Amino acid sequence: MRPDTLPSLSMKILRQAFEDMMKAKAMSFLYDEKKQICKYVHSNSRGHEAIQLATAYHLQKDDWISPYYRDESLLLGMGYTPYQLMLQLLAKGEDIFSGGRSYYIHPSRKTDNTPKIIHQSSATGMQAIPTTGIAQGIQYIEHFNLQDYSTPPVVVCSFGDNSITEGEVSEAFQFAGLHQLPILFLVQDNDWGISTTAEEARAQDAYEFISGFKGIQRMRVDGTDFIKSYTAMNTAFAYVRNQRKPLLVCAKTVLIGHHTSGVRKEMYRPLEDLAKHETQDPGKKLRTYLLEAGYSENTLYDIEKSTEQSVRADFQRALEAKDPAVEDVNKYVFAPTPITEEQGEREPKNGQKILMIDAAIHAIQELMSKNPEALLYGQDVGERIGGVFRETVTLATKFGSRRVFNTPIQEAYIIGSTVGMSAVGLKPIVEIQFADYIYTGINQLITEISKSCYLSLGKFPVSTVIRVPIGAYGGGGPYHSGSIESLLASIKGIKIAYPSNAADFKGLFKAAFYDPNPVILLEHKGLYWSKVAGTQDAQTVEPAENYILPLGQATSILKASEEQITKGLSLCIITYGMGIYWAKEAAKHFTERIEIVDLRSLIPLDEAYVYSVVQKHGKCIVLTEEQLQNSFAEALSARISQACFKYLDAPVTPVGALNIPAIPLNINLEREALPNAEKLKEVIHQLFAY
């Protein structure tokens, strides 16, 4: 393309693009030269510079972008300096993105006058769902006029080509197309996925693949040609910004650098392939354009040399920067919550008793009435049935289908989208239909949600309530009866509440909603209607609307007498959920000798209260509905043993379900598998025999 046929692209932009490309080139060569110093794994953008810079130059301050780990030039084009990027490369304390906690080109940024970037993970393609959640949130904000934007925001999600084969990427495409979200999917296709070629990894490229998703427009572009890339991205941004609809750009690029510093190109790529890619170097192409436009060789040479000198100076300065303070390693696991004390009326005078299922409906209704940023979604929670347990019935009628709506069967999207929704200031309440089906969403929960606050230095805690009906009763069978708290409790960076009655449910729900961190609310299905024999106490007087119960506050729902404690004839049962009712039934056979502690939340755990109770009695049972081996209950038993060892008169004894892979369908088999009051009574007798 000759200069006189170029689109209306200013020479200033072309020169800036050349300078930025030379920065990327100089950084790549320098990192290779200093590979013994650049010891942390990293990738560079060589071969991808043109499409990345063309994208960056179209971003505006209210836009959002999720780069992937090769988007070095994109960040340079956004105005980040080599020095700022090098601080992350070398894991320095002044790294503005993660303070030395995350890899190179894993940014997170939240400022008023620059495009926003949520926490970036390394898991391939996993940014698709959180980023689509941003677009979902922006659409919601625009519909309800919750915020004024100077220009309609565009959300950009950037990928490498092989990530498109991930199932969770398809979930994002499905939701974006279904709801016509303002998102631009940018796929940079260099034909390689580490050592896997395109022919080995996929049946078609992203441009062909996206044709199967109705409602998403598509474009192809030569991503090695800056002018073509700039023109294409100008069209793409205009479409999404004005039409408020999704679009995918498939940009053909080349891979000139290594896959990463640890997987070097000479390890697996044929020389002829490397040579072929080198011929499409975006920097060489733009250099030719500039020469044809009148730039001299000397001018371009001077740009290259001055850029190289500047990059080397930045690297030396970054080397001299301080490492992170080791004492800060525990910071930002959670954002501070404003809910630290129990408040409001738990038992209003003349209050009516309600079922736990009604507590769910009332809590959500009260929260949504006061907070326009609150919305509820999940499978079958909409107007027709209001949840398979009818726990959201009437809510869609009251708040409309924009605020309470059904989703596809996409547990990963339901969970992961809350990252983006939270980032734009919304308060998503989402539901996983059964605990047994949370596993397809665990990737998002661990990779994106749990790490977001910590790796973004507190910029992006994920404020969401994830409701999970849990537990067994009445022949639910192997895929509708599971208990999963041990799996969840092993994930650092999330909170877990597990109420056993209506009042606690409502109070914990309010605390979870106002907590800036992700909270999973485990709701035992057998307690919803108090239909299981012995669970009538799950019905309580309904607390007032202002009642809030902080997470991390255990309580004793039954106490032993001081006389029995003094004689050493008492013990305590530490439990939660359905365990409360097994414990209460068993305690009837040991008058005034049993104290029952309801944990109410598992993370944070009220360890101080638990230890104080155990020390008082000297004998302790930890009761769970889960299969016992390697469970939360066993782990808690070990912690109690260690913390209270000198006070114990008997081993801390965990009690739970049999160690079988699933809860059987047959009711008799289910009964045999689960703990109950009779089984618990036998263990109590054994402990009292010490």
Give me the DSSP letters along 8-24.
Answer: S--HHHHHHHHHHHHHH
Q: Alpha-carbon distance 239 to 454, whole Å? A: 35
pLDDT band at 5 (very low <50, low <70, confident <90, very high): very low
Residue indicated by tokens 């020390």: 615
pLDDT of residue 196: 87
Whether the pLDDT of residue 388 is over 80: the answer is no
Nearest to 228 by CA among 12, 503, 6: 6
Q: What is the CATH number of domain 16-112+123-205+226-321?
A: 3.40.50.970
Residue 632 has pLDDT above 70, yes or no: yes
- Name the pLDDT band for 387 (thresholds 50, 70, 90): low
Q: What is the DSSP letter of 649?
A: S
Look at residue 3 in the predicted model and tell me its pLDDT. 43
What pLDDT, on the 0 to 100 scale, is given for residue 65?
Answer: 98
Kindly tell me if the per-residue pLDDT of 510 is higher than 70.
yes
In tens, the pLDDT along 392-424 reads: 778 888 999 999 999 999 999 999 999 999 999
Q: Do domains 16-112+123-205+226-321 and 353-541 have the same CATH topology?
A: yes
Of 196-200, 285-289, 608-612, minimum mean pLDDT range: 196-200
pLDDT at residue number 198: 87
Instruction: Quote the pLDDT of residue 49.
Output: 98
Is residue 131 very low, low, confident or very high in pLDDT (cuts 50, 70, 90)? very high
Terminal alpha carbon distance of the chain: 90
HSE-CB of 384 using CA atoms within 13 angstroms: 5
pLDDT higher than 90, residue 177: yes
**Residue labelled with tokens 């109705």:** 214
Please compute the mean of the pLDDT values over residues 577-590 and round it to a whole number.
Answer: 98
617 is catalytic: no
Tokens found for residue 682:
């036998």
pLDDT at 2: 43
* Host H or E run for residue 218: strand 217-222
Mean pLDDT computed over 248-273:
90
Percent of the chain with pLDDT over 70: 98
The mean pLDDT of the chain is 95
Handedness of CA 265, 267, 269, 274 (dihedral sign): positive
Q: What is the percentage of the chain residues whose pLDDT exceeds 90?
A: 90
Split at pLDDT 50, 70, 90, the class of 291 is very high
For residue 481, pLDDT beyond 50 = yes
Catalytic residue among 106, 362, 480, 524: 480
**What is the phi/psi pair of residue 348, to 5°?**
-60, 150
| CATH of span 353-541 | 3.40.50.970
Predicted confidence at residue 8, as pLDDT, reads: 56
Q: Read off the pLDDT of each residue in 45-54 and give the average, rounded to a whole number.
A: 97
Q: In this predicted structure, what is the pLDDT of residue 380?
A: 86
Name which residue leads in pLDDT, 80 or 195: 80
> What sign has the CA pseudo-torsion 608, 573, 597, 434?
positive
Model confidence at 95, pLDDT cuts 50, 70, 90, reads very high
pLDDT in tens, 22-49: 999 999 999 999 999 999 999 999 999 9
Domain topology for 555-688 = Rossmann fold (3.40.50)
Return the higher-pLDDT residue of 262 and 79. 79
Query: What is the C-alpha to C-alpha distance for residues 506 and 62, in angstroms, rounded to an integer?
Result: 36
In angstroms, the CA 88 to CA 454 distance is 15
Task: Give whole-number Cα distances, 674 to 258, 434, 482, 488, 664, in Å.
Answer: 54, 18, 11, 20, 10
Q: In this predicted structure, what is the pLDDT of residue 391?
A: 65
For residue 1, what pLDDT is reported? 40
Question: What pLDDT score does 273 carry?
Answer: 85
Q: How far apart are CA 217 and CA 262, in angstroms?
A: 37
Position 386 scores a pLDDT of 65
Identify the pLDDT of residue 259: 85
pLDDT of residue 265: 85
pLDDT of amino acid 6: 47
Whether 76 contacts 48, CB under 8 Å:
no
Alpha-carbon span 77 to 118, nearest angstrom:
18
* Calpha distance 416→137 (Å, rounded): 13
Going from N- to C-terminal start, the domains of the chain cover 16-112+123-205+226-321, 353-541, 555-688
Quote the pLDDT of residue 197.
86
Closest alpha carbon to 624 in 685, 671, 674 = 674
Residue 382 pLDDT: 80
pLDDT of 465-476, one tens digit each? 999 999 999 999
Residue 268: the pLDDT is 87
The pLDDT of 125-145, averaged and rounded, is: 97
